[in-house]
Amino acid sequence: MHRFFVPPSALAATPILLENGTLHHLRTVLRLSVGDELILLDGGGALCHARITRMGKKQGLAEPLARWSEEEHPLRLHLLQGLPKGEKMELVLQKGTELGVKRFTPIFSQRTQRVKGGAKAARWEKIVQEAARQCRRPSLPSLDRPSSLVEALEKEKAPLKLMLWEEGSVPLSQVLPCEPPSAIAFLVGPEGGFSFEEAALAQEHGFLPVSLGPRILRSETAGFTLAAILQYLYGDLNSSPVPAAAPR
Ligand code: SAM
């Protein structure tokens, strides 16, 4: 069944109001019409199986048939991603969302190029939402505004902080604990990597430099690889896929 994110206030109401942007997508992309059923989500874990009862020019309505909530695995993965060039951040957000990353912080570092924040932010939000819809996540990951490396390092409070560092770091197995941490922050460099000063600064802020082996991976590949390993060891990559009673 098709899924679609709507604002929390809209999902909580009866009937559920379908606003212009939502309507456009339901009509032209998903080809839904009055009488069709779908799953509406608020991005915070509340879901509703609903039937479309009206599709006007600017507004539509959906009647709730069943409401329930779903929780994601509690592991909080926070990806601090050195901004890559061009459109690659979009790939990072899309695949990171599929891999269950709960928070993204795009990072400006010495070797990244500045991007125009406003225009990108709206597009990035859309990409995260579309990826969450497609992979059936009940909750939307949060996307911070781009931040400087120093600011991000200072703010990070996760009990386990990792920095992917291709120079002078230790294998992952030497730093990963047996007990699942509640949250893990992991820092990935842009195409040019981090400078030695930046790597030292990250270590001063408690980030452990770790290696992913002898091959130098592209920035986006490195983040996905670590996200998948962490999700497998401590998260839900090794669990059964379908919550039994929910409509699909
Ligand atoms: N500085 C490097 C250079 O230009 O030769 C390459 C940087 S790499 C393309 C981009 C980022 O991916 C790095 O900053 C690091 O965070 C991560 N990375 C890639 N391969 C890695 C590996 N084998 N071990 C740890 N981190 C890696």
CATH code at position 119: 3.40.1280.10
Query: What pLDDT is attached to residue 246?
Result: 65
Structural domain including 37 reads 3-69
Same-domain pairing of 107 and 214: yes
Same-domain pairing of 59 and 86: no
The arithmetic mean of pLDDT across residues 113-134, rounded, is 84
- Ligand 1 contact via 217 beta carbon (within 6 Å): yes
In this model, does residue 115 exceed pLDDT 70? no
Beta-sheet strands, E only, within 36-111: 37-41, 46-55, 60-69, 76-82, 103-108
Sign of CA dihedral 115, 198, 192, 131: negative
- Ligand 1 contact via 221 beta carbon (within 6 Å): no
Distance 198 CA to ligand 1 centre (A): 14
Query: What pLDDT is attached to residue 103?
Result: 98
- Ligand 1 contact via 195 beta carbon (within 6 Å): no
- Ligand 1 contact via 225 beta carbon (within 6 Å): no
Query: What pLDDT is attached to residue 225?
Result: 97
DSSP H/E element including 3: strand 3-5
pLDDT tens-digit readout, 158-181: 999 999 999 977 999 999 999 999
For the beta sheet containing 60-69, the strands, ordered from the edge strand earlier in sequence to the opposite edge, are 3-5, 37-41, 46-55, 60-69, 16-18
Same-domain pairing of 61 and 80: no
Q: Which atom of ligand 1 approaches the CA of 215 most closely?
A: 23
* Domain total in the chain: 2
Out of 46, 69, 92, pick the residue that ends a domain: 69
Out of 69, 92, 127, pick the residue that ends a domain: 69
Q: Which of 149, 166, 191, 221 to mutate to test the pocket of ligand 1 (most atoms within 8 A of CB)?
A: 166
pLDDT tens-digit readout, 124-135: 999 999 999 999
Distance 166 CA to ligand 1 centre (A): 5
Closest CA to 148 of 184, 102, 77, 198: 198
Out of 40, 69, 98, pick the residue that ends a domain: 69
